Structure 1
Amino acid sequence: MTNEIEIGRGKRGRRAYSFDDVAIVPSRRTRDPEKVSLAWQIDAFRFEIPVLAAPMDSVMSPATAIALGKAGGLGVLDLEGLWTRYEDPTAQLAEIASLPREAATARMQEIYREPVKPELISARLGEIRAAGVTVAGALSPHRTQELYQTVLKAGVDIFVIRGTTVSAEHVSAVGEPLNLKKFIYDLDVPVIVGGASTYQAALHLMRTGAAGVLVGFGGGAALTTRTSLGIHAPMATAVADVAAARRDYLDESGGRYVHVIADGGLGRSGDMVKSIACGADAFMLGAALARAEEAPGGGYHWGPEAHHIELPRGERVHVGTVAPLDEILFGPGTHTDGTTNIMGALRRSMATTGYSELKEFQRVDVVVSPYQGG
């Protein structure tokens, strides 16, 4: 079933849905929220909550990566960010938060011109490892070949290759592109790659040997990809499509399970709940964690797309500060808008619909219910 509609006589398009367009349907059975497990595992690493922090300077510092790790999640540090460019980026972070909106992009481009220093990559990852939590770092596809040896020598547990979109077969006329299949095969650590937003793209990434695939393109709070490039992937459909690729690859590979991680368009707890319902194993959060009192962005949020030297496809946005990290994750909630007690919301939704495990909750019934703003 293609679900295509006619845009005009010369073009047809497939109807796709965002998280706002779908709703979860309660079942005949309910459970006690206390009996619900939110744990999941990727490769040899088990986590008590299905939360990965986005590798963005406004969200993750070594300190917040450690805090999230101790809370049961996975903090992913941007290894091309301020923490690997400056010995102490406190002043740069404070300046970015204080910039007037009209000057923010240009000044950020200047700040991020400082080169990435391999010795700082080693130092930051070493700091996280010394705290006894799982160590994860992210590189963009075009810097992976250059810096991955430094990352591995520093002792990373999980390696993340994250871009606006990542393909298994990048065509380049100016240099040798990263061969993901060979690269992942040669590594001794699990690799999470993305973003991907279609069944076919995700299936190709799974065939490279990736342990997990990030799902999303242009949907984050700080991204302007939709307005600058005209490209966007509504997340409910994207996650469901990639979950289908996971199912088919499981059969194709003879039982190899690749984790699906929703990444983008997850500003409120209801969106995160729906991402699991559509087939995700976990979700990667940016703005939701940038609202924490401990977040290095100081109430502002931005990603690497916001300071791209040639074509910025993001911006620094004000998300505010709502609560400490622990309250955002576990409550007790003091806000009614889905910004605090995220795990409590997921746990209660699972209990209300009768599911006690995340994998089971992927089978929950959903309906298309276009959002009317009410």
Structure 2
Amino acid sequence: MTNDIEIGRSKRARRTYSLDDVALVPARRTRDPRDVNTEWQIDAFKFATPVLGAPMDSVMSPETAITLGKLGGVGVLNLEGLWTRYEDPEPYLDEISLLARDDMSHVTRRMQEIYAEPIKEGLITERLAQIRDAGVVVAGSLTPQRTQEYYKTVVNAGTDLFVIRGTTVSAEHVSQNQEPLDLKKFIYELDVPVIVGGAAGYTPALHLMRTGAAGVLVGFGGGATTTTRRALGIHAAMASAISDVAAARSDYLDESGGRYVHVIADGGLGQSGDMIKAMAMGADAVMIGAPLARAKEAPGRGYHWGPEAHHHEFPRGTRTPMNQVGSLEEVLYGPSHHVDGTSNLMGAVRRAMATTGYSTLKEFQRSEVVLTGRPQY
């Protein structure tokens, strides 16, 4: 059975669906939201909430990573960002937040200049040590291009979770210009769990799982800040992408004799409803940027941007204004004073799980969903 449609005589395409195209169906049996368990565990690390703070300078600083860790999630620090380029990045964060909104070319150019400062290995060690000293799980992120250069520094600094995150990451990168990262060999030699992504399909995700990754990021991250769809023509319809990768997880579980790889939705999760539907489609956890960038403690000072915004050759992202809705604790757990799904995110998850009758996140992946909107092609 196939749902391919003909675009023209020489091209067919599979119909896919975004999170906006699906909705949950309330069940016959409901539960008290207070009885719902939102715990998530990857490897030896257990978290009260299935939330990873995206490794973006507008979202995660060492301090916000610590705060998120104490609130039950895990903050992933961008190890190629301002915190590893400058002893004191605060003046540069101030400057980025004060750049005029009406001249995006100037914003991009100035951000490229600020991020041209070299990464300093000593600062990688210092920032990760700061998080470790606070007694929370330490997680850091590098792009595939920088991983071979800095991974030893990251591991020696005592990271607990290592994230390799790019626009898209494959298990078989081909290059005639440089030695590509051998993911399977690399992961095998590390002593820490590795989360890799993004991936947006069954086959790419299955290959990443076979490298030994503990988790696979689904999507291309930075949904609120990137223009990748317009600039490169690349886009993942997240409902279908998560479902496809969840199917790869199930098949790999059988293939490997019981090895479970976590599926982590990453990108386009701006409100609580997006997170809920991502987990109903099969995600074990979510990596979010924009929702946390709305917190008063967020280093972006009311703005949100990702590494795509200051790429030195081909920038394809924007510095996006964000309404600050409350403290990080209020964003995650309330109390909420907003009706748009931007605060008390986990309260919304609990209520959705209770309404559909499920008590654990793993059970919640069996939620019934319906199509509600126009299919995305």
- TM tier, shorter chain? over 0.9
TM-score, normalisation: structure 2: 0.97
2:277 aligned residue (274, 284, 307)? 274
Aligned AA for 1:272? M
Match 1:297 to one of 283, 297, 300? 300
Distance 2:67 2:221 in 1: 28
Corresponding residue of 1:85: 85
In the alignment, the residues of structure 2 paired with residue 143 and residue 217 of structure 1 have an alpha-carbon distance, to the nearest angstrom, of 18
Structure 1: how far apart are the matches of 2:312 and 2:351?
Answer: 44
Cα gap change, 1:291 to 1:218, in 2 (>3 Å): closer
Letter in 1 for 2:232: L
Separation (CA, whole Å) in 2 of partners of 1:47 and 1:128: 16
CA distance in 2, matches of 1:44, 1:222: 33
For residues 226-283 of structure 1, give each alpha carbon's deviation from its aligned partner in whole angstroms, at most 9, with x where no partner exists.
0000110110010000000000000000000000000001000000000000000000
Describe the SS at the equivalent of 1:104: helix
Give the 3-state SS of the residue equivalent to 1:283 in structure 2: strand
Aligned positions of 1:71-150 closer than 5 A:
71-101=71-101, 102=103, 103-150=106-153
Give the partner amino acid of 2:166.
G
For the residue of structure 2 that corresponds to 1:340, the secondary structure is: coil
Shift in alpha-carbon separation, 1:364–1:243, aligned structure 2, 3 A: same
C-alpha separation in 2, matches of 1:259 and 1:225: 25
Q: Give the match for residue 49 of structure 1.
A: 49
The answer to whether structure 1 residue 312 and structure 2 residue 312 are counterparts is: no
What is the aligned counterpart of 1:217 among 220, 227, 237?
A: 220
Aligned mates of 2:222, 2:205 — CA distance in 1: 17
Instruction: After superposing the two structures, state which structure 1 stretch, 9-18 or 145-154, moved more.
Output: 9-18
**2:331 is paired with a residue of what secondary structure?**
helix
- Secondary structure in 1 aligned to 2:197? strand
SS in 2 for 1:23: strand
Cα separation, 1, equivalents of 2:220 and 2:9: 28
Equivalent positions of 1:190-269 (< 5 A) are 190-217=193-220, 220-269=223-272
2-structure distance, mates of 1:316, 1:2: 40
The alpha-carbon deviation at position 371 of structure 1 amounts to 6.6
Residue 355 in structure 1 maps to residue 358 in structure 2: yes
Q: Which residue of 2 aligns with 1:331?
A: 334
CA distance in 2, matches of 1:2, 1:227: 28
Q: CA deviation at 1:332?
A: 1.1
Counterpart selection for 1:365 from 344, 355, 368: 368
Identity %, equivalent residues: 71
Q: Which amino acid aligns with 2:14?
A: R
- Give the conservation status (yes or no) of the 8 Å contact 1:299–1:319: yes
3-state SS, counterpart of residue 333 of structure 1 = coil
Q: List, as ranges, runs of 4+ consecutive aligned residues in structure 1 with deviation greater than 4 Å.
A: none
Q: Name 1:11's counterpart in structure 2.
A: 11
**CA shift for structure 1 position 2:** 2.7
Instruction: Render the CA deviation track for 1:303-353: whole Å, top value 9, x for unaligned.
Output: 001100010111111112111110000011110000000000000000001
Q: Could you report, residue by residue, the CA deviation over 1:54-104 in whole angstroms, capped at 9, with x for unpaired residues?
A: 000000000000000000000000000000000010000011111123211
Q: Determine helix, strand or coil for the equivalent of 1:217.
A: coil
TM-superposed CA distance for 1:218, in Å, is 6.2
- Residues 94-130 of structure 1: per-residue CA shift (max 9 Å, x gap): 1111112321111000000000000000000000000
Aligned 8 A contact 2:83 2:123 in 1: yes
Question: 8 Å contact 1:218–1:232 — kept in the other structure?
Answer: no
> Is this contact kept in 2: 1:65–1:128, CA < 8 A?
yes
TM-score (normalised: structure 1): 0.98
Query: CA deviation digits over 1:203-245, x for unaligned, max 9?
Result: 0000000000000026610010000001101100100000000
Unaligned runs of 5+ in 2: none
Please give the secondary structure, in 2, of the residue aligned with 1:329. helix
* Unpaired segments ≥5 residues, structure 1: none
Name the CA shift for 1:171/1:14 in 2 (closer, same or farther; >3 Å).
same
Which deviates the most, 215-224 or 186-195?
215-224
Matched, 1:39 2:39: yes
Distance of 1:35 and 1:87 partners within structure 2: 45
Say which SS state the counterpart of residue 180 (structure 2) adopts.
Answer: coil
How far did 1:145 drift? Answer: 0.1
* Number of residue pairs the alignment of both structures matches: 372
The two structures, once aligned, show a CA RMSD in angstroms of: 1.0
d(CA) in 1 for partners of 2:56, 2:333: 22
**Take 2:111 and 2:178, find their aligned partners in 1: how far apart are those partners?**
28
Mapped partners of 1:268, 1:15: distance in 2: 25
